[in-house]
Structure 1
Amino acid sequence: MLDQWYTGIVTRILQETANTRRFWIKMPELGRFDFKPGQFVTLDLPIHEKKNKRWRSYSIASHPNGTNEIELVIVLLEGGAGTTYLFNEVREGSELTVSKPQGAFTLPEQPDRDLFLVCTGTGIAPFRSMVHYLHLHQIPHPPIYLVFGTRTEQDLLYADEMRCLAREMPGFTYLPTLSRDENPDWWGQRGYVHAVYESLLADKRPAHFFLCGWKAMIDEAKQRIQAMGYDRKDIHLELYG
């Protein structure tokens, strides 16, 4: 059960894509909001009498930086009570009830094999947190592949930032993958995320898989990764929706 809640103040909102917004939330009662990269928070929204119908959880998209402010990236779900409230009612200066950080979707302390971070849509949030944290603190790591699937180039989140990180950070490869984009000048991957990691792992070398996104993608990835000969213990996941 969640026993610790804070009053968060929305300090900034940015429309990132047609249906996705970034929300910055500060917890004034805390000197700093400490969390591990990959963790999430739960918002208690005034949308229902019952607790379990009011709670919505979102991965923290920012990295731990010693401040009391975090960033969430949220996609508007058609008919979704939680996101409809956040998009229609919440403004800069609004208050939100925010839980303490939760979850164990975090990188191993000393990863001993290649890391494949596979995501779709706002599933990039925990991976953005992880990669920035590793880069900022110059933490040694094995090769990291971020395979990020969306429909079109307009749907990509944090694209310039990830390209910049890939240039600056040795051992980090950014692989944006578009399933429905016809742009002949597109510089990244085409198709679905599964073909990308399968092709990179044709040699079946040891790897850890971190999967984040909608259930359909995660279910297919689990199946395909095990079919490649990897163990279920090699797969870590954070399910959205």
Structure 2
Amino acid sequence: MQEIWHTGIVTRLLDETYNTRRFWIRIPDMERFDFRPGQFVTLDLPIHEKKNKRWRSYSIASHPDGSNEIELVIVLLEGGAGSTYLFNEIREGSELQVRGPLGMFTLPENMEKELFLICTGTGIAPFRSMAKYIQLHNIPHPNIHLIFGCRQQRDLLYAEEMRKLAAEMPGFNYIPTLSREDNSWTGRKGYVHGIYEEMLNGSKRPAYFYLCGWKAMIDEARQRITGMGYDRHDIHLELYG
């Protein structure tokens, strides 16, 4: 299969937190950029001679809206060649080589089982896309639990937007949980694993688990979820780093 790369134009940049930035990219040679919520794109960045060392993949944080523009949210990784280039060199009007959409990390065909969307860091991106899409198209769904783990309040991405979504969309629960927060935080504390274990509390009711974020979180979640008696086919994942 031939790789098709498109030239994207960066139309807008916005710092979401102290170390994450939102990038809006328009693909002029496409009338509309069609993708399924949860899919990703690959960028070819001029950071290495070997092409496979130039490629960086990012989940699409926006939902399909019929336009040819997408949003990515990217964290600046210490020593990360790709993110350092994107943060230091890319401005509004810059061009980026884009391939996609790619990936099978998408919503189930039938929305009959409860959905646990478990993420850390920028792993919230595909779940933001999914949740907005479900809301926009009034897709019937069982309870959806977005469990978002990070260290401190300053690390929360799309917090106000997710709270608003939870207030507007029946059956959508937004549960941010912080592992290193002081007493000013009144929400959930600790790690994501305690949240879904407590919610399921040995009931093993029908559920799908979508995991997106750091490898350590995903590995532990897989172990714990199968340990609760769920089948590995109930678990879908997208690895970061």
Q: TM-score range by the shorter chain?
A: over 0.9
TM-score, length basis structure 1: 0.98
Q: Give the gaps of 5 or more residues in structure 2.
A: none
Deviation of residue 2 (structure 1)? 5.8
Q: CA RMSD in A?
A: 0.9
Q: What do residues 178-205 of structure 1 show as CA deviations (whole Å, max 9, x unaligned)?
A: 0000133x23211000000000001221
CA distance in 1, matches of 2:4, 2:130: 24
**CA separation of 1:177/1:56 partners in 2, compared to 1, >3 Å: closer, same or farther?**
same
Q: What do residues 5-58 of structure 1 show as CA deviations (whole Å, max 9, x unaligned)?
A: 110000011011111000000011111100000000000001111110000000
What percent of counterpart residues are identical?
74
CA distance in 2, matches of 1:154, 1:108: 32
Q: What do residues 91-142 of structure 1 show as CA deviations (whole Å, max 9, x unaligned)?
A: 1100000002000000111122100000000000000000000000101111
**What are the equivalent positions in structure 2 for 1:1-241 lying under 5 Å apart?**
3-184=3-184, 186-202=185-201, 203-241=203-241
TM-score, length basis structure 2: 0.98
Q: What do residues 55-75 of structure 1 show as CA deviations (whole Å, max 9, x unaligned)?
A: 000000000000000000000
Contact (CA 8 Å) 2:179, 2:190: kept in 1 or not? yes
CA distance in 1, matches of 2:126, 2:19: 19
Contact (CA 8 Å) 2:111, 2:140: kept in 1 or not? no
Contact (CA 8 Å) 1:2, 1:99: kept in 2 or not? no
CA distance in 2, matches of 1:133, 1:109: 14
Letter of the aligned partner of 1:128 in structure 2? R
Equivalent residue pairs, number? 240
Runs of 4+ deviating beyond 2 Å: none
Q: Give the gaps of 5 or more residues in structure 1.
A: none
